[in-house]
């Protein structure tokens, strides 16, 4: 089942990324209503769990990390451990989001394909096959072998229904859910369907509501036959009363020696299906914890649409490419491979989490989902050396760095207390908002009214002018923050505004290495030891002959600000909660 009950003792439940509602998470409970057990948390929702014939649970996980905002199908064992990708990540899905999956046959599911918003989670019907399809003597189709996201394919069962936010036409409509009645190649489905435009924006303008009724859908002939349609309510999630073979019980081992922590790692970070890493290019794996507005933050952490993050540490990659770390259980985590300068060389935009005592060790850095990672006989170097401790037994309220911002202690990069002091001491004598070569300008124009405002680069810590507060995302943001992070481009698009002039973003979210500011400053080596004599780039550092250079710790803080999403707020400067 799904619940919005609190998972982590003494900490509030996560809120979602837009409406800021309390998120739904996975849980289990006995048939007698006893023994409730709540699973590890995601940063956003985990919804629509369904039990597959192999004993695993498939569900939709909402992944929100910066520009990534989509619902993907995931698997978990019945004890809510061993989470694995099912379908839809890395652009392999039929749409932005895949919802409400139901098993047709082993390895085969029917689901809703739709946009993440404004469609009331209704869309097209897709037939998903996670492995190679086989047909038995009765004409039933399954895909039980080699089930992986890499091998998955899909068929569009309703080709006229939009997969995005495009308003659906009359007689086409959208589907809210579907349940398979057989496993034919073109199955019969029990569906909930509404006619005409179902998109919330279109209906809202007309003052109408969607009307879902229950239908029998013949996918062979693309015909619907009405069963039940009460115009006063939505008729959804209809199910036939029938017997089924009980799935096996699936579970995972837990390690009491972890003391309630979760252990994570990889056997070889150089094994990847998404990027080719040069040998020796990865120094370590940086692990960060995610959180949202449940801790008292305003709606926006910054203009870049990222959620809050706290860095838990860096686990060195051992000689054989392996790494391990012990981290807090039940909290959202993300990892980045970093180089010796502390900059991310690859960042996968997903959150994951583990239960107390769970070990989550993968083959590599998003290794091939259709191959087996092989290593030399024996245990990995990381297992032999032991995991890197990363605050696994420290409460959430204490996972922050209030006074020590050195490389190994900094967790959150609070813009006004960590970044601004280095600007004040070393940058604002030149970058002071006075238009000129050191401070380029751009103009924002509203074509509808002809009005315009001008922004000039400025690294001072004053609050942004009122006319920029909405375009930046929050009135608390400072001149230096908007100068480095840039505007809220979603607000620019929604306002149909135009930008002319020298508009630049100086810190790229999740990409310090290619950020203009980082390239100009040319940071020093961070790992395994800080070395001011070794620079990341062959170019002359920006501060040469212009004043005092940043310290190694300051370089790392600025790099961390970029690689963790260029947010203004962190736990350390939370304006809505001073209890930690």
* Domains of the chain as residue ranges with CATH: 2-228 (2.120.10), 256-398 (no CATH), 415-564 (no CATH)
**For residues 40-69, average pLDDT:** 91
Quick one: pLDDT at residue 38? 86
**For residues 373-381, average pLDDT:** 74
Quick one: pLDDT at residue 78? 94
Please list the residues that pair with 217 across neighbouring strands: 189, 224
Quick one: pLDDT at residue 16? 60
What six digits make up the tokens of 114?
């739709």
| 370 pLDDT above the threshold of 70 | no
Quick one: pLDDT at residue 295? 78
Per-residue confidence at 384, pLDDT binned at 50, 70, 90? Answer: very high
Tell me the per-residue pLDDT of 71-123, one tens digit each, with 9 for 90 and over.
Answer: 999 999 999 999 999 999 877 899 999 999 999 999 999 999 999 888 899 99
Contact call for residues 446 and 499 (beta carbons, < 8 A): no
Quick one: pLDDT at residue 518? 99
Q: What is the pTM of this model?
A: 0.90
For the ranges 144-153, 200-209, 244-253, the lowest mean pLDDT is seen at 200-209
Task: Spell 128-160 as b/e; 16+ CB within 10 A means b.
Answer: bbbbebeeeeeebbbbbeebbbebbebbebbee
Contact call for residues 468 and 461 (beta carbons, < 8 A): no
Per-residue confidence at 19, pLDDT binned at 50, 70, 90? Answer: low
| 18 pLDDT above the threshold of 70 | no
The residue among 117 and 265 whose pLDDT is bigger is 265
Quick one: pLDDT at residue 170? 94
The closest alpha carbon to 106, from 164, 41, 56, 167, belongs to: 56
Residue 63 CA to residue 43 CA, distance in Å, equals: 8
Quick one: pLDDT at residue 494? 86
Tell me the per-residue pLDDT of 109-131, one tens digit each, with 9 for 90 and over.
Answer: 999 999 988 889 999 999 999 99
**For residues 223-228, average pLDDT:** 97
Quick one: pLDDT at residue 545? 87
| 1 pLDDT above the threshold of 90 | no
| 20 pLDDT above the threshold of 60 | no
Per-residue confidence at 251, pLDDT binned at 50, 70, 90? Answer: confident
Quick one: pLDDT at residue 368? 59
| 55 pLDDT above the threshold of 80 | yes
Main-chain phi, psi angles of 383, to 5 degrees: -65, -40
Tell me the per-residue pLDDT of 294-350, one tens digit each, with 9 for 90 and over.
Answer: 777 888 899 998 999 999 999 999 999 999 999 999 999 999 999 999 999 988 778
| 143 pLDDT above the threshold of 90 | yes
| 178 pLDDT above the threshold of 90 | yes
What six digits make up the tokens of 83?
């989470």
| 199 pLDDT above the threshold of 80 | yes
**For residues 224-233, average pLDDT:** 96
Tell me the per-residue pLDDT of 417-430, one tens digit each, with 9 for 90 and over.
Answer: 999 999 999 999 99
**What residues contact 494, with CB distance under 8 A and at least 6 apart?**
none
CB count within 10 Å of CB 442 equals 16
- Which of 143-152, 369-378, 384-393 is modeled with the greatest confidence? 384-393
SS (H, E, C) 20-78: CCECCEEEECCCCCCCCEECCCCCCCEEEEEECCCCCEEEEEEEEECCEEEEEEEEECC
């Amino acid at each position: 089942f799904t619940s919005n009950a609190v998972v982590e003792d003494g900490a509030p439940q996560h809120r979602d990324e837009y409406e800021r509602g309390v998120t739904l998470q996975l849980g289990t409970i006995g048939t007698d209503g006893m023994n409730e057990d709540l699973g590890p948390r995601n940063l956003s929702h985990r919804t629509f769990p369904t039990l597959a014939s192999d004993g695993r649970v498939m569900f939709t996980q909402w992944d929100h990390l910066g520009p990534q905002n989509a619902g993907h199908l995931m698997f978990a064992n019945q004890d809510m451990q061993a989470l694995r990708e099912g379908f839809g990540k890395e652009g392999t899905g039929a749409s932005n989001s895949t919802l409400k999956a139901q098993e047709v046959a082993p390895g085969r599911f029917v689901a809703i394909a739709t946009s993440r918003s404004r469609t009331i989670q209704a869309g097209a019907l897709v037939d998903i096959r996670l492995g190679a399809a086989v047909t038995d003597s009765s004409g039933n189709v399954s895909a039980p072998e080699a089930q992986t996201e890499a091998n998955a394919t899909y068929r569009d069962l309703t080709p006229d229904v939009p997969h995005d936010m495009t308003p659906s036409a009359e007689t086409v409509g959208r589907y809210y859910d579907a349940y398979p009645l057989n496993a034919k190649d073109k199955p019969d489905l029990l569906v909930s369907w509404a006619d005409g435009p179902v998109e919330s924006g279109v209906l809202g303008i007309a003052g109408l509501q969607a009307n879902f009724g229950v239908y029998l859908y013949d996918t062979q002939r693309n015909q619907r036959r009405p069963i039940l349609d009460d115009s006063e309510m939505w008729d959804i999630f209809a199910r036939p009363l029938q017997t089924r073979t009980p799935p096996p019980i699936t579970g995972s081992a837990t390690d009491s020696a972890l003391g309630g922590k979760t252990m994570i790692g990889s056997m070889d970070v150089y094994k990847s299906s998404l990027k080719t890493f040069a040998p020796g290019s990865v120094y370590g794996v940086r692990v960060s914890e995610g959180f949202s507005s449940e801790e008292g933050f305003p709606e926006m952490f910054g203009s870049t649409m990222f959620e809050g993050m706290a860095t838990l540490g860096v686990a060195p990659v051992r000689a054989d490419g392996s790494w391990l770390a012990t981290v807090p259980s039940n909290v959202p985590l993300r990892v980045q491979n970093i180089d010796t300068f502390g900059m991310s060389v690859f960042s996968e935009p997903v959150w994951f989490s583990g239960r107390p005592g769970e070990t989550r060790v993968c083959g590599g850095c998003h290794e091939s989902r259709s191959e087996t990672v092989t290593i030399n006989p024996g245990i990995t170097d990381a297992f032999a050396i032991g995991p890197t401790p990363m605050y696994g037994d420290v409460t959430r309220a204490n996972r922050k760095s209030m006074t020590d911002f050195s490389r190994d202690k900094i967790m959150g990069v609070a813009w006004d207390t960590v970044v601004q002091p280095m600007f004040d001491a070393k940058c604002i004598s030149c970058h002071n908002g006075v238009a000129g070569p050191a401070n380029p300008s751009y103009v924002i124009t509203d074509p509808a009214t002809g009005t315009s405002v001008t922004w000039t680069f400025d690294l001072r810590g004053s609050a942004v002018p009122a006319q920029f507060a909405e375009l930046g995302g929050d009135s608390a943001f400072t001149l230096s923050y908007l100068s480095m992070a840039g505007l809220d481009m979603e607000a620019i698009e929604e306002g149909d505004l135009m930008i002319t002039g020298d508009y630049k973003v100086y810190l790229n979210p999740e990409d310090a290495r290619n950020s203009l500011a980082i390239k100009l400053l040319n940071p020093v080596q961070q790992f395994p030891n800080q070395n001011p004599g070794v620079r990341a780039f062959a170019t002359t550092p920006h501060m040469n002959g212009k004043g005092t250079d940043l310290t190694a710790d300051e370089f790392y803080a600025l790099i961390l600000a970029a690689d963790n999403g260029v947010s203004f707020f962190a736990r350390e400067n939370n304006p809505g909660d001073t209890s930690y």
